[in-house]
Amino acid sequence: MSCNHGYSFRYPETCTFSCNHGYHRSEGSTSRTCQADRRWSGSAIRCCPNGYEYYQPSRFCYKAFNQEIDRSNYNDAAATCASEGGTLAMPSDAGINAFLLSLKNAGDFWFGLSDRGQEGRFVWANGVPLGHFNHWAPEEPNDHDGGEDCAHYWVDKGDRWNDNFCDKSMKFICQVAT
Ligand SMILES: [Ca+2]
Ligand SMILES: [Ca+2]
Protein backbone atom coordinates (compact mmCIF):
# COMPACT_ATOMS: atom_id res chain seq x y z
CA MET A 1 0.00 0.00 0.00
CA SER A 2 3.02 2.23 -0.47
CA CYS A 3 1.25 4.38 -3.06
CA ASN A 4 -0.65 6.06 -0.23
CA HIS A 5 2.51 8.06 0.31
CA GLY A 6 2.93 8.67 -3.38
CA TYR A 7 3.65 12.31 -4.00
CA SER A 8 6.27 10.87 -6.30
CA PHE A 9 3.51 9.36 -8.43
CA ARG A 10 2.43 11.40 -11.40
CA TYR A 11 -0.45 11.36 -13.84
CA PRO A 12 -1.03 8.88 -15.47
CA GLU A 13 1.03 6.36 -13.50
CA THR A 14 -0.64 3.28 -12.08
CA CYS A 15 0.11 1.60 -8.80
CA THR A 16 -0.81 -1.85 -7.59
CA PHE A 17 -2.20 -2.11 -4.08
CA SER A 18 -2.19 -5.32 -2.08
CA CYS A 19 -2.76 -6.44 1.49
CA ASN A 20 0.02 -7.19 3.92
CA HIS A 21 1.04 -10.77 4.59
CA GLY A 22 -1.60 -12.51 6.68
CA TYR A 23 -4.42 -10.33 5.34
CA HIS A 24 -6.80 -10.63 2.40
CA ARG A 25 -8.62 -7.97 0.41
CA SER A 26 -12.17 -7.20 1.55
CA GLU A 27 -12.93 -4.35 -0.85
CA GLY A 28 -11.25 -1.64 -2.90
CA SER A 29 -9.15 -1.41 -6.01
CA THR A 30 -5.93 -3.38 -6.49
CA SER A 31 -4.87 -1.19 -9.40
CA ARG A 32 -5.24 2.59 -9.15
CA THR A 33 -4.13 5.30 -11.52
CA CYS A 34 -2.85 8.72 -10.56
CA GLN A 35 -5.27 11.06 -12.31
CA ALA A 36 -4.73 14.55 -13.69
CA ASP A 37 -6.13 16.06 -10.46
CA ARG A 38 -3.56 14.01 -8.48
CA ARG A 39 -6.30 11.83 -7.00
CA TRP A 40 -6.16 8.07 -7.28
CA SER A 41 -8.79 6.34 -9.38
CA GLY A 42 -10.95 3.68 -7.77
CA SER A 43 -11.34 3.26 -4.02
CA ALA A 44 -9.01 2.53 -1.14
CA ILE A 45 -8.20 -1.10 -0.56
CA ARG A 46 -9.43 -2.58 2.71
CA CYS A 47 -8.00 -5.76 4.18
CA CYS A 48 -9.12 -8.29 6.79
CA PRO A 49 -6.85 -10.62 8.74
CA ASN A 50 -6.97 -14.14 7.36
CA GLY A 51 -9.69 -16.09 9.13
CA TYR A 52 -11.87 -12.97 9.43
CA GLU A 53 -14.94 -12.20 7.30
CA TYR A 54 -15.77 -8.71 6.09
CA TYR A 55 -19.17 -7.09 6.65
CA GLN A 56 -19.27 -4.12 4.30
CA PRO A 57 -21.98 -2.01 6.01
CA SER A 58 -19.95 -1.76 9.24
CA ARG A 59 -16.53 -1.95 7.50
CA PHE A 60 -15.31 -4.33 10.18
CA CYS A 61 -13.90 -7.84 9.94
CA TYR A 62 -15.35 -10.54 12.21
CA LYS A 63 -14.28 -13.97 13.37
CA ALA A 64 -16.18 -16.48 15.48
CA PHE A 65 -13.86 -18.60 17.60
CA ASN A 66 -15.87 -21.74 17.02
CA GLN A 67 -13.65 -24.40 18.57
CA GLU A 68 -14.26 -25.82 22.03
CA ILE A 69 -10.61 -25.12 22.85
CA ASP A 70 -11.34 -21.42 22.29
CA ARG A 71 -13.71 -21.33 25.28
CA SER A 72 -12.80 -18.43 27.56
CA ASN A 73 -14.25 -16.25 30.23
CA TYR A 74 -15.22 -12.73 29.15
CA ASN A 75 -11.92 -11.09 30.10
CA ASP A 76 -9.82 -13.78 28.43
CA ALA A 77 -11.96 -13.56 25.29
CA ALA A 78 -11.53 -9.78 25.23
CA ALA A 79 -7.77 -10.22 25.68
CA THR A 80 -7.61 -12.64 22.75
CA CYS A 81 -9.46 -10.13 20.56
CA ALA A 82 -7.09 -7.36 21.70
CA SER A 83 -4.11 -9.53 20.80
CA GLU A 84 -5.53 -9.70 17.27
CA GLY A 85 -5.79 -5.91 17.14
CA GLY A 86 -9.50 -5.67 17.84
CA THR A 87 -12.23 -6.06 20.42
CA LEU A 88 -15.04 -8.45 21.15
CA ALA A 89 -17.62 -8.02 18.37
CA MET A 90 -20.32 -5.37 18.78
CA PRO A 91 -23.64 -6.28 17.13
CA SER A 92 -24.98 -2.74 17.39
CA ASP A 93 -27.60 -3.14 14.66
CA ALA A 94 -29.75 -5.91 13.23
CA GLY A 95 -27.52 -6.36 10.17
CA ILE A 96 -24.34 -6.91 12.15
CA ASN A 97 -26.22 -9.15 14.57
CA ALA A 98 -27.45 -11.37 11.72
CA PHE A 99 -23.96 -11.46 10.19
CA LEU A 100 -22.39 -12.59 13.47
CA LEU A 101 -24.97 -15.33 13.80
CA SER A 102 -24.03 -16.54 10.31
CA LEU A 103 -20.40 -16.97 11.47
CA LYS A 104 -20.95 -18.85 14.72
CA ASN A 105 -21.68 -22.51 15.17
CA ALA A 106 -23.84 -24.01 17.91
CA GLY A 107 -23.21 -22.88 21.45
CA ASP A 108 -23.08 -19.78 23.59
CA PHE A 109 -20.75 -16.97 22.46
CA TRP A 110 -19.51 -13.85 24.23
CA PHE A 111 -19.71 -10.56 22.42
CA GLY A 112 -18.59 -7.08 23.51
CA LEU A 113 -21.32 -5.71 25.76
CA SER A 114 -21.42 -5.46 29.55
CA ASP A 115 -22.79 -3.49 32.49
CA ARG A 116 -19.78 -4.07 34.74
CA GLY A 117 -19.12 -0.35 35.09
CA GLN A 118 -22.58 0.55 36.34
CA GLU A 119 -25.30 -1.99 37.00
CA GLY A 120 -28.05 -1.83 34.41
CA ARG A 121 -26.16 0.48 32.07
CA PHE A 122 -24.93 -1.70 29.21
CA VAL A 123 -21.94 -0.36 27.30
CA TRP A 124 -20.28 -1.72 24.15
CA ALA A 125 -16.63 -2.81 24.15
CA ASN A 126 -15.68 0.58 22.66
CA GLY A 127 -17.34 2.48 25.51
CA VAL A 128 -20.46 3.53 23.59
CA PRO A 129 -23.73 2.97 25.49
CA LEU A 130 -26.18 0.41 24.14
CA GLY A 131 -28.53 2.23 21.77
CA HIS A 132 -32.07 1.50 20.73
CA PHE A 133 -31.19 -1.79 19.00
CA ASN A 134 -31.01 -4.90 21.15
CA HIS A 135 -31.80 -8.58 20.80
CA TRP A 136 -32.30 -9.65 24.41
CA ALA A 137 -34.10 -12.90 25.15
CA PRO A 138 -37.43 -12.47 26.92
CA GLU A 139 -36.99 -11.27 30.53
CA GLU A 140 -33.29 -10.52 29.94
CA PRO A 141 -31.09 -8.90 31.03
CA ASN A 142 -32.08 -9.97 34.55
CA ASP A 143 -28.78 -9.66 36.48
CA HIS A 144 -29.55 -13.09 37.96
CA ASP A 145 -28.31 -13.42 41.56
CA GLY A 146 -27.05 -9.85 41.30
CA GLY A 147 -23.98 -10.84 39.38
CA GLU A 148 -24.58 -11.12 35.64
CA ASP A 149 -22.79 -8.36 33.77
CA CYS A 150 -21.54 -9.77 30.44
CA ALA A 151 -23.61 -10.38 27.32
CA HIS A 152 -23.63 -13.44 25.09
CA TYR A 153 -25.59 -15.27 22.43
CA TRP A 154 -27.74 -17.82 24.21
CA VAL A 155 -28.18 -20.82 21.95
CA ASP A 156 -31.03 -22.25 24.04
CA LYS A 157 -33.03 -19.08 23.39
CA GLY A 158 -32.54 -18.99 19.65
CA ASP A 159 -29.29 -17.02 19.94
CA ARG A 160 -30.98 -14.05 21.53
CA TRP A 161 -28.91 -12.09 24.05
CA ASN A 162 -28.50 -12.87 27.74
CA ASP A 163 -26.47 -11.35 30.55
CA ASN A 164 -24.41 -13.98 32.34
CA PHE A 165 -21.58 -14.31 34.84
CA CYS A 166 -18.43 -12.89 33.26
CA ASP A 167 -16.27 -15.71 34.61
CA LYS A 168 -18.24 -18.35 32.71
CA SER A 169 -16.38 -20.05 29.89
CA MET A 170 -17.78 -20.00 26.37
CA LYS A 171 -16.79 -19.36 22.78
CA PHE A 172 -16.64 -15.77 21.49
CA ILE A 173 -16.59 -13.48 18.45
CA CYS A 174 -13.99 -10.78 17.71
CA GLN A 175 -13.97 -7.79 15.38
CA VAL A 176 -11.03 -5.98 13.79
CA ALA A 177 -11.06 -2.73 11.83
CA THR A 178 -9.99 -2.82 8.18
CA1 LIG B 1 -25.59 -6.73 35.55
CA1 LIG C 1 -29.42 -13.28 32.54
Buried b (16+ CB within 10 A) or exposed e, 52-80: bebbeebebbbbbbeeeebbbbbeebbeb
Single out the residue of 13, 105, 94 nearest to residue 67, CA to CA: 105
Of the ligands numbered here, which is closest to the C-alpha atom of 138? 2
User: In degrees, to the nearest 5, what angle opens at C-alpha 46 toward C-alphas 102 and 94?
Assistant: 30
Of the ligands numbered here, which is closest to the C-alpha atom of 136? 2
Confidence of residue 34 (pLDDT cuts 50, 70, 90): confident
- Condensed to tens digits (0 to 9), the pLDDT of residues 88-146 reads 999 999 999 999 999 999 999 999 999 999 999 999 999 999 999 999 999 999 999 99
Q: From the CA of 119, how far away is ligand 1's center (Å)?
A: 5
If you ran DSSP here, which 8-state letter would residue 136 be given?
B
- Does the pLDDT at position 32 exceed 60? yes
Domains of the chain are: 1-49 (2.10.70), 51-177 (3.10.100.10)
The widest CA-to-CA distance across the chain, in whole angstroms, is 67
Q: What is the pLDDT of residue 55?
A: 98
Element housing 83 (H / E) = helix 74-83
**How much is the CA Rg of the chain, to the nearest whole Å?**
20
Pick the most confident of 2-11, 28-37, 154-163: 154-163
| d(C-alpha 6, C-alpha 92), whole Å | 37
Q: From the CA of 60, how far away is ligand 1's center (Å)?
A: 27
pLDDT-above-70 percentage for the chain: 96
- Condensed to tens digits (0 to 9), the pLDDT of residues 135-166 reads 999 999 999 999 999 999 999 999 999 999 99
- Does the pLDDT at position 84 exceed 60? yes
Of the ligands numbered here, which is closest to the C-alpha atom of 164? 2
Q: From the CA of 170, how far away is ligand 1's center (Å)?
A: 18
Predicted model pTM: 0.92
